[in-house]
Amino acid sequence: MKLVLATLALSMAAAPAMAATGPFFSLGNTDFVVLLAFLLFVGVLLYFRVPREVGKLLDKRADGIRAELDDARGLREEAQSLLASFERKQKDVQTQADRIVSNARDEANRSAEQAKVDIAKSIQRRLTAAEEQIQSAQDKAVRQVHDEAVTVAVAAARQVITDQMTAQRADKMIDESIQTVGAKLH
């Protein structure tokens, strides 16, 4: 009702309404006819309770928006908790990755040290084997030189004996050898 009175007061105070000629409250005045039509329109709206229905629709819409905002807040809180969970998991994974890298680095260092020890042992074994081969070759060479010296000495002794041996002396040595063998066998 206040809306109707406010509208009426404004329409009467309007400058175009004062510009019309003749009495204001006559059907010949278009401003008065428009005012009456407007008031009739507002009356029909009020009779059919359109403002109340519009208010209900607006309240319903506001409740829907409020519910959507509550849902959005809930989703936002859920998203924040998921984000925090993922950040914790990411930190855990990063920590685990750092630990794996550290362990791998330590294992690589241990493997390198073990490889150095193994190489040193392998080199030592090879040096020992080489020294043994050298010693064996040296012993073999000494044996060969010794054998060669014996062969040369035997050949030289044979030559000396052959040069100094006569047929009589050879017969005498053979007879003595036969007697020695015969005495030892019997």
Place of tokens 């035997």: 154
Report the pLDDT averaged over residues 110-132: 93
Report the pLDDT averaged over residues 50-75: 95
Q: Looking at the predicted structure, is the pLDDT value of residue 18 above 80?
A: no
Q: Looking at the predicted structure, is the pLDDT value of residue 15 above 50?
A: no
CA distances from 10 to 14, 16, 21, 38, 46 (A): 6, 11, 19, 12, 19
pTM value surpassing 0.85:
no
Across 53-57, 128-132, 157-161, least confident range: 157-161
- Cα–Cα distance measured from residue 116 to residue 123, given in angstroms and rounded to the nearest whole number: 10
Report the pLDDT averaged over residues 74-97: 96
Report for 3-7, 120-124, 167-171: range of highest mean pLDDT: 120-124
CA distances from 132 to 60, 128, 136, 142 (A): 104, 6, 6, 15
Q: What is the pLDDT of residue 129?
A: 92
